[in-house]
Structure 1
Amino acid sequence: MLASHLFEQRYQTRGDPEELRHATDVLEDRLARTPPGAPQRDSLLNLAGARWRERYTASADPVHFTKAVSRLEEVLQEAESGGAFHRTATGNLGTAYRAHYNITGDLACLAAAVAAYERAVAGWDGATQDRAIPLSNLANALRASYEATGNRDHLDRSIDLHEQAVATYPAGHPGLPQRLINLASAYGARSSATDGRADLDRSAELLLQALDGMPADSPM
């Protein structure tokens, strides 16, 4: 798994898709030698699904999308329901469907992403920072659904979910500014839709909070 991680990091640095192919090949080779029920299999399947999804995002090759979904569905069949691997695979499956929607514009895939993210959020108890990621993923998918369909209920719920994600972070946490920006953007979208001054003011307030929490050399 370390070798796959190193290849993936080199891909992030160099942008060479061959590095991502190597990262995937390492995991697939390991999976071929790891029988069902082995302790590391669920982790390997999750990582392989994530790598195939990255390759799909980079290539738009539907074969890569199919492989991503297949590997992640294997985790959902084999891993303990409600366990960490099951939760991670559910979220990763949502991200694969969201990538497919981004590439194809297929609203059925966006609906599948929303459904997967809903299950991922339901798998976490309490307002923890670990829950902030599935909350944000679901909020962003609902925002995309609003933009595609005009369903205001989806935008309203997106704002509520972003509020929940922000609430999981203490002041000064390095992850807080990005959550504040996401929330500000959602309020700005609702302000544009309704000409609501309160939403516009709230968006501006959140952006200022985000800026205050960023280091001076932040790329954001």
Structure 2
Amino acid sequence: MTADDYGTLRTVLRNAAQDWIDCYQNEDRPQELVWAVDTFRWLYLAAPPAWLSAARTDLIVGLQLGFEQSGEVLSISEAIELGEQAVREAASESARARQSANLGNACRLRYEATGVRADLERAVRYGRQGLDDSPSGLIRAQRLSNLAFALRLRYELLDRPPDLQEAIVLGDRALDAVGTTQPQRSRIASNLSIALRLYGAARGDVDVLRESRQLALDATTLPGSLAIDRPGLLINAGLAAVELARITDTARNLEQAETMLQGAAAIADPAHVDRRTALINLGLVARAKAGLPTASRQEIDQAVDRSAAATAVLAVNDPDAVTCWSGLARAHWMRFERLRAPDDARRAVEARLAAASQRSGSPGQRTMSGRIAGEWAMVTDDPASAVEGYQLALDRLNELIWPGLQRNERERRLAELAGLADDAAGACVAGDQWNNAVRCSEHGRSVLWGDRLRTSEVDRLAAVDLALAERLLEVRARLEALEVLGRRSLFADEVTDRDPR
């Protein structure tokens, strides 16, 4: 096939693929998106050298859309690999900016799926490069919004207020740059709405939260707004209402949030991530309503049912898994506190243990879940489950307290974790696991306290079992001797094993 013949065929097939994408976005028909991606892949594989760059760009965009629908990490990883090639081979500054913007968006999508921070940092870096030589109008608006998205995610991960402030500024600029009738305006408004909600929630600013809610609601009725974006917009509006309820302590905002989230769940495709997100947040609203002093038995039962429904739709290694299992645990525990049913207490502890076991969760989330599981299990006289929970919490300590951590953050975490090792040892004693009590206490001490709480741990343990406390002192003496030898060995290695550079 000659380059001219390929060009003619590409025009026909590319137009068909674009029509399928439009059907997917406007009518939520995912099969058409599959056809479009397959078409782009064939065009890329068949492309002669003169058309290779253009065909690759189409495939990158198609793979990103496909990932948004399917959540398959292999798909977005392929888009990133192709994007890296495209950036390296870009023939001009404008082409490099275009490919960098696409690559940054792909890195952000993979970060959302895997939680790998390196992808998020690349998303910000390539997103900035995408603005270097970008045209005005819609294209620039999309690039501004995508960079704002990545910055907002970095704020959520690292709690850097400047990232969120910049995300809002960029989001405002993006919204100003896009026309009121262009389909992409709803998605740009959605990104800005989320950033405003986070800002308003952090500052307790009711006006900003109302702006966030209204921006998302207005975007659902924009001329030309995409059907596939409407569930997400309703979710954003609902979450803003949840934050308003938290700050203003008004049940009316919870009712509004519930209505919006139910609407999102009703119109979202069953396989789309938005339906899962809506169900997860319906559980959140149900728990908030169940926690009100005026909550009825029906509302408490609904909190349990909706929280269970949220765990049922979790994907493998879902980043929301810890949140969902913790939510189910809270719902069962609320019902246990109200009705004192032992089965609810057992299920609450089981759900907390499940949360602490989720590899997709952050170390802080998993540590807290394990500790709470231990505390609840001790309340209900289940030392075996308590030991399991405390052990899961202790297993994450090295990830929470590491040598490079800033001093103020280290001290804050130490304060939050104070007493964990003692509680774990106490649970072991209650469960007649004497050797494990020593291991738990020693592991916690080595990571958390060093020498500072040397005596308090022994005193507290001695109050439970004097013989065990004496044994603990003996073990510590041996460990300290080994630590001295270890320090000497490390020092020798540092002197003799120098970096050859």
Matched, 1:43 2:54: yes
Q: Which residue of 2 aligns with 1:106?
A: 116
Q: CA deviation at 1:189?
A: 1.6
Tell which deviates more after alignment, 60-69 or 131-140: 60-69
Higher relative contact order (CA 8 A, sep 6+): 1
CA distance in 1, matches of 2:105, 2:30: 20
AA of the residue aligned to 2:29 = R
User: Deviation of residue 15 (structure 1)?
Assistant: 2.1
Q: C-alpha offsets along residues 48-81 of structure 1, whole Å, 9 cap, x if unaligned? A: 1122333344444443233212222222233323
- Residue 110 (structure 2) pairs with residue 95 (structure 1): no
SS of alignment partner, residue 145 of structure 2 = helix
Alignment equivalent of 2:29, drawn from 14, 22, 34: 14
Q: Which residue of 1 aligns with 2:132?
A: 122
Q: Offset of 1:166 from its aligned partner?
A: 2.4
Letter in 2 for 1:118: R
Task: Name structure 1 gaps, 5 residues minimum.
Answer: none
Equivalents in 1 of 2:201, 2:170: separation in Å? 19
Larger Rg: 2
Kept in 2, the 8 Å contact 1:181–1:210? The answer is: no
Counting aligned pairs with the same residue, the percent is: 25
Distance change (3 Å), C-alpha of 1:200 and 1:10: closer
The one-character-per-residue Cα deviations of 1:62-104 (angstroms, maximum 9, x if unpaired) are 4323321222222223332322x43332222112111111111
Q: Residue in 1 aligned with 2:339?
A: none
- For residues 189 and 24 of structure 1, the distance between their equivalents in structure 2, rounded to whole angstroms, comes to 34
Residue aligning to 1:26: 39
Please report how far the alpha carbon of residue 130 of structure 1 lies from its aligned counterpart in structure 2 after TM superposition: 2.4
Offset, 1:179: 4.1
Deviation string, structure 1 residues 85-138 (Cα, Å, up to 9, x no partner): 43332222112111111111112111111111111122226x533211100111
Superimposed CA distance per residue, residues 156-197 of structure 1 (whole angstroms, 9 cap, x where no aligned partner): 111111121123246x54465654554344223212102235
Q: TM-score, normalised by structure 2?
A: 0.37
2:160 corresponding residue in structure 1: 151
After TM superposition, the structure 1 = structure 2 runs for residues 160-179 of structure 1, keeping only pairs within 5 Å, are 160-169=169-178, 172-174=180-182, 176=185, 179=188
Residue 133 (structure 1) aligned with residue 142 (structure 2): yes
Contact 2:181-2:222 within 8 A present in 1 as well: no
Aligned residue pairs: how many? 211
Q: Could you tell me the TM-score, scaled by structure 1's length?
A: 0.76
CA 191–20 in structure 1, closer or farther in 2 if over 3 Å, else same:
closer
2-side partners of 1:72 and 1:33: how far apart? 18
Separation (CA, whole Å) in 1 of partners of 2:222 and 2:154: 30
The SS at the match of 1:122 is coil
Q: Does 1:214 align with 2:222?
A: yes
CA distance in 2 between partners of 1:41 and 1:92 (Å): 16
**Distance in 1 (alpha carbons) for counterparts of 2:22 and 2:215:** 31
Cα RMSD after superposing both structures: 3.4
